[in-house]
Structure 1
Amino acid sequence: MLNALEVVTTVLVGVMVGVEFSVAFVMNRIFDALPDDSDQLARAHGGRMLGAVMPFWYIGSMILVAVWAFVGRHHDGFGLVVTAGGLLMLSVVMSILLLVPINNQGKTWTPENRPEDWKEQMNRWDRWHYVRVAVIVAAFALLVTALV
């Protein structure tokens, strides 16, 4: 049972890392290159779509890591799993305090109602997102190390 939990948790966190990495380094670059108001409209749509899914994914991943840590507390890699769980918890706190407030505003914007500083706000979101991606990549690396 522990082996299945380890694999499922690692795959789930790994896919989440892939999605967030793609947002940071692929999708936002594509959106930035779109003409006229398309960048802002794409970011608003992405904020709505991913904003609905990611809370469950982040918290679900954190819960699975906590279960792994509890069930595997007497096995090798326990400290790595606990540290990964702490990093995932940090990513959730960062999301709630820093990224979600910006996303909640941005997902309602249209070309007609967006603030003048909307690009600066999106750039701030991007900078915090880069940090969050680094945190979850580190958590994923720790889980992979604990798995092997």
Structure 2
Amino acid sequence: MSGGVVQYVGLFLLGVLAGEELIVRYGVHPVLSSLDDRAHLLARQALIRRLRVVVPIVMLPAAALALVGLATVTGPGLALRWATLIAMVVFLLLSFLGTVPINIKVNDWRVDAPPADWKAVIHRWARIDVLRSTAASAAFLFAVLAVAYGTAS
């Protein structure tokens, strides 16, 4: 893949990832909190089962292309490509060390008898997810700026 193709495919994937993260964070999850406890947990578990397949399909190639882009794309925008990669590393760390372990626990909960601290666990997940969705959005913004800076020069 040439540098330009890597850059544009990576940009597309980062845009899809950032859009998905923003919709889930600020569209879907606030609605969950308005549901009764059982419905909330059933919906959350259904989302976990679906998104644990969908999100990696986008995030892993996006991260890989951010790395490949840093290594292969030459010219202006190097600092922005570094910023893109750093934001993606932050996103991945927050995912694999933060939300994913919580999702694994939540997926195993009995909706009719969740743990006593389940709301605190969900609140912790939400705090991490704000950072996570922000990192995905930042990665996309930095990638857009890198492409714009590279084509404007």
Q: TM-score, normalised by structure 2?
A: 0.89
For 1:61-100, what per-residue CA distance to the aligned partner results, in whole angstroms no more than 9, with x for missing partners? 110111111111x311122112211110121112111111
Runs of 4+ in 1 over 3 A off after TM superposition: none
Taking the TM superposition and a 5 Å limit, the aligned residue runs for 1:109-128 are 109-128=109-128
User: 2-side partners of 1:92 and 1:53: how far apart?
Assistant: 15
2:15 is aligned with what amino acid?
A: G
State how many pairs are aligned.
147
Instruction: Indicate conservation of the 8 Å contact 1:41/1:110, yes or no.
Output: no
1:127 is aligned with what amino acid?
A: R
Instruction: Indicate conservation of the 8 Å contact 1:31/1:42, yes or no.
Output: yes
1:15 is aligned with what amino acid?
A: V
- Which is worse superposed, 19-28 or 93-102? 93-102
Compute the displacement of 1:128 (Å). 0.3
Compute the displacement of 1:36 (Å). 4.6
In the alignment, is residue 70 of structure 1 matched against residue 71 of structure 2? yes
User: 2-side partners of 1:56 and 1:90: how far apart?
Assistant: 18
Gaps spanning 5+ residues in structure 2: where? 149-153
Instruction: Indicate conservation of the 8 Å contact 1:62/1:85, yes or no.
Output: yes
Taking the TM superposition and a 5 Å limit, the aligned residue runs for 1:1-148 are 1-72=2-73, 74-148=74-148
- Which is worse superposed, 51-60 or 92-101? 51-60
Secondary structure of 2:65's aligned partner: helix
Secondary structure of 2:116's aligned partner: coil
